A = this chain, B = another copy of it.
Amino acid sequence: MSEQKSARHVYRFGVGVTDGRSSMKDLLGGKGANLAEMAFAGLPVPPGFTITTEVCAHVAGGAKGNTELTLPSWLWPEIDAAMAEVERTVDAKFGDADKPLLVSVRSGAAISMPGMMDTVLNLGLNDEVCEGLAKRTGKARFAWDAYRRFLQMFGDVVMGVPRSEFEHALDAVKEAKGAKTDQELDEAALRDVVNRFKAIYRKHTGHMFPESPREQLERSILAVFGSWNGDRARKYREVQKIRGLIGTAVNVQAMVFGNTGPRSGTGVLFTRNPATGTKELYGEYLVDAQGEDVVAGTRTPSPIAKLHEDMPVVHEQLVQLAARLESHFKNVQDVEFTVQDGRLYLLQTRHGKRTGAAAVRIAVDLVGEGLVTREEAVANLVEPAHVDQLLHPHFADETGYRKQGRVLSKGLAASPGAAVGRVVFHAEDAEAWRAKGERVILARVETSPEDVAGMHAAEGVLTSRGGMTSHAAVVARGWGKPCVAGCGDIIIDYRTKTLTNGRVTIKEGDWLSLNGTTGEVVEGKETLADAVVSGALETFMEWVDGMRALRVRTNADTPKDAAVARKFGAEGIGLCRTEHMFFEDSRILAMRRMILADDEKGRRAALALLLPEQRKDFAGIFRAMEGLPVTIRLLDPPLHEFLPNDAVQQDQVAKATGMHVERVRQRVNALHESNPMLGHRGCRLGITHPEITEMQARAIFEAACEVQAEGKKVLPEVMVPLVGTVAELVDQKKLVIAMAEQVFTEKGMRVPYHVGTMIEVPRAALVADKIAAEAEFFSFGTNDLTQMTLGYSRDDIASFVPRYLDRGILTDDPFQSIDTEGVGQLVRMACERGRATRKDLHLGICGEHGGDPRSITFFADVGLDYVSCSPFRVPVARLAAAQAALRGKVKAKQGEA
């Protein structure tokens, strides 16, 4: 890039004029934009200027790591002019010994980003200036301390001299002087330190320390730009999925000093309590200190409330400034401040990070105080993750176990919340221990439908294999039960009933704690704290619901789950999987009889046993969802999932069914599939075994009639899975309609119902125009659609997807956040083609993506009618849907303008 993008590359603030604003974060970085905004708002900000991110792109664009960078010549006049204005404003001069101006140099991208060069303070000092500073302030010790700090920071941060060298030298001087703290060093000692630091600098860089303030400045600016492409920053951007930024800005600002004596100090504060949301100043400060002292932890800061005693005027100023900041930024602010000789300066402000409970309370309070509108509160003040956090228990002490080194391993944060229990390794053990009143954690290599009862009995589930949409993860999320999945570092040995991370071995019965929100597996018994739910949440969610067009349904298979989801605001069931019902004790045997039967007659006999059970389940769900639609998916998984693989259980099945064990084994083998995900499942089962579809349809309509007879409104929707051709849907729909008519005749009543299909096979999306001629609704099964569109078996991706994410070949796990470019294209195509055929085609999505905020934004954009997600994700989805709608409004307005 040889052209200059903007006319201006240096933006001034607090020098009479202020060029920037908070909306210019892309150009000025977050820190620079907010400094400008504060200065513009008349807040006490030391003057300075920001060099734009475009300059960074120009200077460091293609470069990596250690390339030698240079500043373009056209930049200097702008820097010099801005510096001159700063000098005029503070009545001092950069590099002038008489009236020395010292500056700080800080990086600042549009998104906060650790790993870049952070801060150089006191820049502009050299021997001569230092003497001048001492003279002018009358504080020689202060001046030499500032100098040695500058040398240390410049050497370490800008030039890469090992920090420990400086520390050793400082320690040596302290030891020689018998000083215990830095404070005890006098001017002479500090002069000694400065000399030693210069020697260290020279030894490591091969150059003299640059006495020229201009060279110091240039080197510091280039170091900031260079750090943008440093390994740590690149890695951070990769991990945090930060994309689309062109570089970091550089902020050069007049220094103010918190370490000039007892009337000085430095601190950080939140304008409200970030843990609870209470309206109170929250933070801490140190008297006679620079910012780094707060961070270093060598002195213990005081709580902000104490400032009232130490500096009552400053405290009062801060209270007023906090109100102005909130009013100006329409959000809680996280502020850095410095007091120099009784005068207060704000050095930085940003939106304050907060807990879920605080976020909701703050949002409601700020609306109440008239600071923000409800729309602004919903759009900006609460994140979907905040709501999620509110719904799950957490550890009472969220950091202690880390400090104590009790984290055994970290897996995927597959289902949020915290769980504590004694570890067991088999589903049956989980049930048995639970029955004895024990809290247990179930640890498995991976789980299968056979483990469901044991998973239910457990407080939490840990697996060493499988991804975010593995069986364990999906089932646990459905129940709101904490789960850490795919924890590959942990080896689980069923034989010895132990798990180990290679260092520590946990035996059956030992206590284990799982943090499903972070993925941490913690040795020992943590204390749990309940979720903090306030009335504020209810208020907030009412606003949310008023702002969204996208409905939110739930995936629920039992009356209990349905009731939970309804409590969380679900507006119907988008996916009721019927297969989980078949795994319960009494039913699995009938199911197995059905599968093992020699002919249709035998299958029908076994199905007759399942019919009353299914009817009972459906009736319970219809009651729980009274008045709301319930989408029931016909049997989906391949039949072999219902048969045991091990010889012992096969023997049991043989005994229970009275069949020869060899026959059972043969049948299991015959049902084996090379790629079950692409095998004999979904509507393929219903077509080869129409009696299954008929039984399920009968159970649905009999239950619907039963509940309707109780005076309750029932809205069943029968969903045919895995349709790829319209002929499949026609076949199954015919069976369903015939059965509906038969039942209605038998019962002497009619129930309104719909028949529709999953769109989860790529072909279905391609021929959606044809399928829509037969389907009254589409529900996108984005799990399968993702598997087939990308060709990724979600059970097998652990071997390559992490590497793909590392290398940026994928930006997200496509099973967590929908692949809008590929899978999304098929979703969009199916919607358009489907609606072209049937204008009122009802569209929803019931894959795991239905609970993912980023995916929800996409679904809202495509124009779906609803998303369906697990009960505990319903509130999250409601918020995400409202935020998507608000963003849509903003876009539409921009489009008009």
A residues with a Cβ closer than 8 A to B are: 673-680, 684, 687-688, 722, 724-725, 727-728, 731, 760-763, 766-767, 784, 787-793, 795-796, 799-800, 803-804, 807-810, 819, 821-823, 825-826
User: In this complex, what residue of B is CB-closest to A809?
Assistant: B727
Residues of B within 8 A of A808 (CB): 727
Contacts of A760 in B (CB 8 A): 791
Report how far A808 CA is from B808 CA in the complex, Å: 45
Contact B763–A790 (Cβ < 8 Å): yes
Q: Which residues of B are found within 8 Å of A787, using beta-carbon distances?
A: 678
- Find chain B residues with CB under 8 A from A823 CB: 763
**Interchain CB contact under 8 A, B725 and A796:** no
Cβ contact within 8 Å between A791 and B728: no
Q: Cα distance A728–B766 when bound, in Å?
A: 25
Contact B793–A674 (Cβ < 8 Å): yes
Indicate which residue in B725, B731, B789, B799 contacts A763 across the interface (CB closer than 8 Å): B789
Q: Is the CB of B796 within 8 A of A687?
A: no
Does A762 lie within 8 Å of B789, measured CB to CB? yes
A809 in contact with B678 given A688-B800, A799-B688 (CB within 8 Å): no
Question: Quick one: given A684-B800, A762-B762, are A793 and B679 in contact (CB under 8 Å)?
Answer: yes
Q: What are some 23 contacts across the A-B interface (CB < 8 A)?
A: A673-B795, A674-B796, A675-B796, A676-B793, A677-B793, A678-B678, A678-B788, A678-B796, A679-B796, A724-B791, A724-B822, A727-B808, A731-B809, A761-B789, A762-B762, A762-B822, A763-B789, A763-B791, A763-B819, A766-B822, A767-B822, A767-B825, A784-B791
User: CA A675 – CA B725 in complex, angstroms?
Assistant: 23
Evaluate whether A793 and B731 lie within 8 angstroms (CB atoms) in the complex, with A725-B810, A762-B788, A763-B819 already known: no
**In the bound complex, how far is the Cα of B680 from the Cα of A792, in angstroms?**
8
- Check A766/B792 contact, CB under 8 A, given A677-B675, A724-B822, A800-B687: no
Q: How many copies does the complex hold?
A: 2
Which residues of chain B are within 8 angstroms of A809 by Cβ–Cβ distance?
Answer: 687, 725, 727-728, 731
In whole angstroms, how far apart are the Cα atoms of A784 and B825 in the complex?
20
Kindly list the 10 A-B residue pairs having the minimum CB-CB distance in the complex, ordered from nearest: A675-B793, A678-B793, A763-B822, A674-B795, A679-B796, A727-B809, A680-B799, A761-B791, A673-B796, A675-B675
Cβ–Cβ < 8 Å partners of A767 in chain B: 821-822, 825
Residue of B whose beta carbon sits closest to that of A821 = B767
A796 to chain B minimum Cβ distance, whole angstroms, is: 4
A256 CA to B631 CA in the complex, in Å? 69
List of B residues within 8 angstroms of A796 by Cβ? 673-676, 678-680
In the complex, which residues of chain B have a beta carbon less than 8 angstroms from the beta carbon of A727?
808-810
State A796–B677 Cα separation when bound (angstroms).
Answer: 10
CA distance A673 to B674 in the complex (A): 10
Interchain CB contact (< 8 A) of A788 among B680, B687, B791: B791
Residues of chain B within 8 A of A788, CB atoms compared? 678, 762, 788-789, 791
With contacts A821-B767, A822-B763, A822-B767 known, is A792 near B731, CB below 8 A?
no
Taking A722-B791, A724-B822, A731-B809 as given, write out 20 further A-B residue pairs in contact, using a Cβ cutoff of 8 Å, ordered by the A residue number: A674-B793, A675-B677, A675-B795, A677-B793, A678-B787, A678-B791, A678-B792, A679-B796, A684-B800, A687-B803, A687-B804, A687-B809, A688-B803, A724-B791, A725-B822, A731-B807, A762-B822, A763-B822, A766-B822, A788-B791
Which chain B positions have C-beta within 8 A of A688? 799-800, 803
Instruction: Give Cα A674–Cα B465 distance, bound, in whole angstroms.
Output: 12
A675 to B791, CA, bound (A): 10
List of B residues within 8 angstroms of A825 by Cβ = 766-767
A61 to B687, CA, bound (A): 26
In the bound complex, what is the Cα–Cα distance between A675 and B679 (angstroms)?
10
Q: Say yes or no: B761 contacts A790, CB within 8 Å.
A: yes
CB distance from A653 to the nearest CB of B (A): 21
Chain B residues with CB under 8 A of A792 = 678
Chain B residues near A791 (CB-CB < 8 A): 677-678, 722, 724, 760-763, 784, 788
With the chains together, A767 CA to B795 CA distance in Å? 25
Query: How long is the Cα–Cα vector from A607 to B643 in the complex, in angstroms?
Result: 42
Q: Tell me which residues across on chain B come within 8 A of A728, comparing CB atoms.
A: 809
Which chain B residues border A675 with CB–CB below 8 Å?
Answer: 675-678, 793, 795-796
Give A784 to B725 CA distance when docked, in angstroms.
18
Q: Looking at A678, A767, A784, A800, which has the most chain B CB atoms within 10 Å of its CB?
A: A678
- Is the beta-carbon distance between B799 and A679 smaller than 8 angstroms? yes
- Interfacial chain B residues near A722, Cβ < 8 Å: 791
CA distance A791 to B761 in the complex (A): 6
Give A762 to B791 CA distance when docked, in angstroms.
8
How far, in whole Å, are A675 and B809 apart by their CA atoms in the complex? 22
Q: Which residues of B contact A766 (CB under 8 A)?
A: 789, 821-822, 825-826
A677 touches B678 (CB 8 A): yes
Q: Output the nearest chain B residue to A679 by Cβ-Cβ distance.
A: B796
**Residues from chain B with Cβ under 8 Å of A803 in the complex:** 687-688
Q: How far is the CB of A885 from chain B (nearest CB, A)?
A: 27
Rounded to whole Å, the gap between the CB of A552 and the closest CB of chain B is: 28
Instruction: Give every chain B residue within 8 A of A731 (Cβ-Cβ).
Output: 807, 809
For the complex, give the distance between the alpha carbons of A766 and B826 in Å: 8
- Could you tell me the distance between the alpha carbons of A684 and B767 in the complex, rounded to whole angstroms? 30
Contact in complex: B679, A677 (CB < 8 Å): no
Q: Is the CB–CB distance between A793 and B673 below 8 Å?
A: yes
Bound Cα distance A134, B678 (Å): 71
A787–B763 Cα distance when bound, in Å, is 10
Chain B residues near A687 (CB-CB < 8 A): 800, 803-804, 807, 809
Docked CA distance A804–B730 (Å) = 13
Max chain B Cβ within 10 angstroms of own Cβ: one of A688, A799, A810: A799
Minimum CB–CB distance for A629 against chain B, Å: 27
Closest to A786 in B: B763
The smallest C-beta distance from A473 to any residue of chain B, in angstroms, reads 15
Expressed in whole angstroms, the minimum distance between the Cβ of A475 and any Cβ of chain B is 16
Please, which residues of chain B bring their CB within 8 A of the CB of A763? 789-791, 819, 822-823
Chain B nearest CB from A574 CB (Å) reads: 21
A799 to B673, CA, bound (A): 10
Q: A819's closest neighbor in chain B, by CB?
A: B763
CA distance A825 to B833 in the complex (A): 14
| A821 contact set on B, CB distance < 8 A | 766-767
Cα A793 to Cα B83 with chains together (Å): 69
Nearest chain B residue, comparing its CB with the CB of A724: B790
A475 to B826, CA, bound (A): 34
Q: Tell me whether A674 and B674 are in contact (CB under 8 A).
A: no
Contacts of A790 in B (CB 8 A): 724, 761-763
Distance of A795 Cα from B678 Cα, bound (Å): 9
Closest to A824 in B: B766
Residues in chain B near residue A804, CB distance under 8 A? 684, 687
A808 vs B810: C-alpha distance in the bound complex, in angstroms?
Answer: 40
Q: Shortest distance in angstroms between A546's beta carbon and chain B's nearest beta carbon? A: 37
Residue picked from A793, A819, A825, most chain B C-beta under 10 Å: A793
Name which of A731, A766, A823 has the most chain B CB atoms within 10 A of its CB: A766
Residue of B nearest to A760 (CB): B791
A328 to chain B, nearest CB (A): 42
Measured CB to CB, the closest approach of chain B to A815, in angstroms, equals 12
* A83 shortest CB reach to chain B, Å: 44
Contacts of A674 in B (CB 8 A): 676-677, 793, 795-796
| Chain B residues near A676 (CB-CB < 8 A) | 674-675, 793, 796
Q: Which chain B residue lies CB-closest to A678?
A: B793
Residues of B near A826 (CB, < 8 A) are 762, 766
- Whole-angstrom distance between the alpha carbons of A784 and B819 in the complex? 20
| Closest-CB distance, A314 to chain B (whole angstroms) | 54
Cα–Cα distance between A787 and B728 once the two chains are bound (Å): 17
Report A128 CB to chain B, min CB distance, Å. 53
